[in-house]
Amino acid sequence: MTMSNSQERAILHTMAALYAQTGRYEDARKLMQKCLEMGGDSTPNNEDWFVFGRIAEGYGFLQSARQSYEKVEKPVNGEPNSTWELARRRLAVLGN
């Protein structure tokens, strides 16, 4: 069985998010770079912006973290615990 590019990207993205959450910011950054390269389009999506925010926050770059979280777009279906809601929670923690 072989994994598709999107499956492999999803796994790497999950690992990057876990690394960012547990303080392994450089590992997270490297995996996110790989994810963007795998996507073919180097434009980050909502989930990418959230992980970039966590990495920036971990390094103490709070303004960059805020900017990343603010780029996460609100979903049209209002799903609970969406990436947008998670980003709003992080913004609330960071304050203005």
Which structural domains are found in the chain, ordered by start? 5-94 (1.25.40)
- Going by pLDDT thresholds of 50, 70 and 90, the confidence category of residue 96 is low
Q: What is the pLDDT of residues 75-92, one digit of tens each?
A: 888 777 799 999 999 999
pLDDT at 19: 97
Structure tokens at 52: 């970039």
Contact 43, 71 (CB under 8 A): no
User: Is the distance from CB of 16 to CB of 31 less than 8 angstroms?
Assistant: yes
Q: How far apart are CA 35 and CA 42, in angstroms?
A: 9
Please state the pTM of the whole predicted model: 0.88
> Please, is 72 exposed, middle or buried when counting C-beta atoms within 10 Å of its C-beta (0-12, 13-18, 19+)?
buried
Give the tens place of pLDDT for each residue, 25-64: 999 999 999 999 887 777 899 999 999 999 999 999 999 9
- Per-residue pLDDT at 1 exceeds 60: no
